[in-house]
Structure 1
Amino acid sequence: MKMLLESGVHFGHQTRRWDPRMRPFIFTERNGIHIIDLQQTVNKLNEAFDYARQVAADGGTVLFVGTKKQAQEAIGAEAHRCEMPYVSQRWLGGMLTNFHTIRQRVRRMEELEAQRERGEFGDLPKKEAARLEEELAKLQQMLGGIRHLDRLPDTVFIVDPAKERIGVSEARRLEIPIIALVDTNCNPEEIDYPIPANDDAIRAVKLLTGRIADAVIDGRALRQQAAEAEEAEKAAAMLALDEAALEDEMERRAAAQDEATTAELAAVFSDADVPPASVESQPAVADAGAVAPQAEAGR
């Protein structure tokens, strides 16, 4: 709360410029200026934080949007910090509703960058090279922040939806949830996660944009932890299967060894059971035959 006060988050617009739909978020009026209820700012910021974190934890994308001068630097810096796409210069009509065409322009920008990297601009006439350099600079300024946005974002974070009317309209048409800093001159009813706040003070914009970026970073960390835990579970399951398979193999080999040993013993005992008389019977018969003639001779 103290940081919000120090950053001037509570200062709204002049009372004559207000949107009556912001009444629930206004605390009082002082010297012709509406004062925003910071307790509600905290509550709504927490809701937006939890939602943005969940989007990131699910592997989703948050598009940061803020083209007014007070928001450009914060939007670019915080989006870079949490590795999310952003629009900080000008919202191009159809950036969401005509996404395919926008992607074609991004590819054109990347082609020009590749040509310049290969030194092909130097082989062209100066006038043509200058024209391509100008085209590339313009594309980089307008589309550089969304070069890695290869599909529609899962949610959009907007600073001053009253200024970003086209962006709000396109997101609503495509049913893309919107998080936004809404000042006292905005309509909070068209925002899914409104954060009542001063959207003209640079410090206020930087503070609150930073919190949404923090939510994205936290969500990604949760996703990474979940992935690591899942990988560990898979590894443990594979190890358990390997141990079970090894144990089964050892039991099979032991059983096979037991069978072989039993067979060998059976063969040994089978040979030992043959009667010795069967071997000595032939000489005995021969001796008997020799004695008989002697007896007859004595007679």
Structure 2
Amino acid sequence: MANKVEVKELLDAGVHFGHLTRRWNPNMAPYIYMERNGIHIINLYKSAAKMQEAGEALAKIAASGRKILFVATKKQAKEIVAEQAERANMPYITERWPGGMLTNFVTIRKAVKKMASIDRMKKDGTFNTLSKKERLQVDRLRAKLEKNLGSISDMSRLPAALFIVDITREHIAVKEAQKLNIPIFAMVDTNSDPREVDYLIPSNDDASKSISKVISYVSDSIVEGLSERKTSKDSKKKDEKDNAAPKAAKSEKAPKAKAEKAEVPSTDPQDKKAMKEAQEDVKLQSKQQTLDKASDANGEEE
């Protein structure tokens, strides 16, 4: 369960400030509280409710072990998103959105693998065999790849969801996610169309303080989901260990039972036959000894 959102905290962070009234999107009307000095004011009670709803959904996705991709290329959002995404151990894009990042994911993965192959070249010494010019070119390529794709190097498959700051600016990311039916979570200001996203958070997406407030809450929800996943895994392992203990005890008792069973006389027909033959041999031997004694006694009498 995501933490409760305090409206006063959102007010202090300036989440309620929208865009100029002349730049508004009419579809945002249900989330606008009023107009003041030519600026739309967002209804923070609705923002708080939507934040909590988005937080719960993100926590479930994180608990299932899937990835959530953070997207924010705005100058005032870059550092905040990078820091919070790393805290939640999630991939993020804070530089230019690479075209086809989702729809042509195979090509993006090849670029990430190229970065890994350059690292291997440096480790095994192949890099040193190149000429000075080639080494410079490889270093520049590595730096460029690291800048654009370094933050998604661990993302081996498509993300389960996207969290976007300013959907108007990141419209390409929105279109790609829509094409692949990937759920979109986003901070939506009064100049954007809320119908383009699945989980919107009506909020000021221009002020760094507002972005920090919303992103930190989202990050907390994801961390909570990850901790739930870890707890459930640990409890599952413990249950398996507890179930394995009686089985081990049972297997230890089994050899003793076999040993006890070995002491019981055999009922095998072949074993019975062998015992009978042995008894007959003993009888014949004793009979033969008796006859020998009798013959020896007769010889002495003569």
TM exceeding 0.5: yes
Determine the C-alpha separation between the residues in 1 that align with 2:261 and 2:125: 73
Q: How many residue pairs get matched?
A: 264
Determine the C-alpha separation between the residues in 2 that align with 1:121 and 1:247: 62
Q: Quick check: 1:22 aligned with 2:28? A: yes
Determine the C-alpha separation between the residues in 1 that align with 2:60 and 2:151: 23
Please name the residue that 2:196 is paired with: 190
Q: Quick check: 1:226 aligned with 2:232? A: yes
Q: Please tell me the root mean square deviation across aligned C-alpha atoms, in Å.
A: 2.4
With structure 2 as the length reference, what TM-score do the two structures score?
0.81
Determine the C-alpha separation between the residues in 2 that align with 1:113 and 1:142: 16
Structure 1 residue ranges, 4+ long, deviating more than 4 angstroms after superposition:
117-123, 244-257
Please name the residue that 1:175 is paired with: 181
Matched to 1:95, the amino acid is: M
Unpaired runs of 5+ in structure 1? 261-299
Please name the residue that 1:4 is paired with: 10
Determine the C-alpha separation between the residues in 2 that align with 1:11 and 1:153: 31
Moved more, 117-126 or 181-190: 117-126
Determine the C-alpha separation between the residues in 1 that align with 2:162 and 2:65: 15
Could you tell me which of 112, 117, 121 is aligned with 1:115?
A: 121
Matched to 2:195, the amino acid is: E
Determine the C-alpha separation between the residues in 2 that align with 1:254 and 1:66: 74
Q: Quick check: 1:80 aligned with 2:72? A: no
Q: Secondary structure at the match of 2:18?
A: strand
Please name the residue that 2:149 is paired with: 143
Determine the C-alpha separation between the residues in 2 that align with 1:17 and 1:50: 31
Determine the C-alpha separation between the residues in 2 that align with 1:250 and 1:124: 70
Distance 1:113 1:253, change over 3 A: closer
Moved more, 124-133 or 134-143: 124-133
Aligned-residue identity in percent: 41
Distance 1:29 1:117, change over 3 A: farther
With structure 1 as the length reference, what TM-score do the two structures score?
0.81
Using the TM superposition, give the Cα deviation of residue 63 of structure 1 relative to its aligned residue in structure 2, in angstroms: 0.5
Using the TM superposition, give the Cα deviation of residue 208 of structure 1 relative to its aligned residue in structure 2, in angstroms: 1.1
Determine the C-alpha separation between the residues in 2 that align with 1:113 and 1:75: 27
Matched to 1:239, the amino acid is: A
